[in-house]
Amino acid sequence: VHGMSRPIGAVFHVPHGLSNAVLLPTVTRYSVPAAVSRYATVSRLLGCCSPDTSDEAAASALVDGLTQLNADLHVPRLRDCRGVDEGRFRTLLTKMATDALASGSPQNNPRVPSAEEIVSLYQAAW
């Protein structure tokens, strides 16, 4: 999340905390397969599911809970963030993905994305 947020801030001047919030549900959904039980634990602790929910269902409930939290807090999609122009966004996707990887942050994710996967994650958050 942090590595992908940096280019958004650098290019579009979206505050880092906001871009983190925008990206969190999308990146969590991507990351779940690499750490199902860890995300399930977080889901249970946050009350997104009951204690007896299977790990797979609990991890899915976490993604749903993060998505709902963003909606409740009126966190916009990338396309709705002030200053984010679609044409420029599309043109810079590959550079932003490369910059995100260069930050070193994606290597700390349970599921380490390739540049192509980061492009897809940015598009999913659009």
Which ranges in 55-126 belong to alpha helices (H)? 55-72, 86-102, 115-125
Per-residue pLDDT tens digits for 55-93: 999 999 999 999 999 999 999 999 999 999 999 999 999
Q: What is the mean pLDDT of the chain?
A: 97
Mean pLDDT of 46-55: 98
Q: Which fold has domain 2-125?
A: Dehydroquinate synthase-like, alpha domain (1.20.1090)
14 pLDDT band, cuts 50/70/90, is very high
pLDDT of residue 120: 98
Radius of gyration of the chain (CA): 15
For the chain, what are the domain ranges? 2-125
Distances in Å between the Cα of 28 and the Cα atoms of 39, 70, 94 are 8, 13, 21
pLDDT digit string, tens, across residues 90-109: 999 999 999 999 999 999 99
The stretch 103-125 carries a mean pLDDT of 96
Question: In the numeric block, which tokens belong to residue 98?
Answer: 């490369």
pTM of the predicted model, to two decimals? 0.94
Q: How many CB atoms lie within 10 A of CB 39?
A: 25
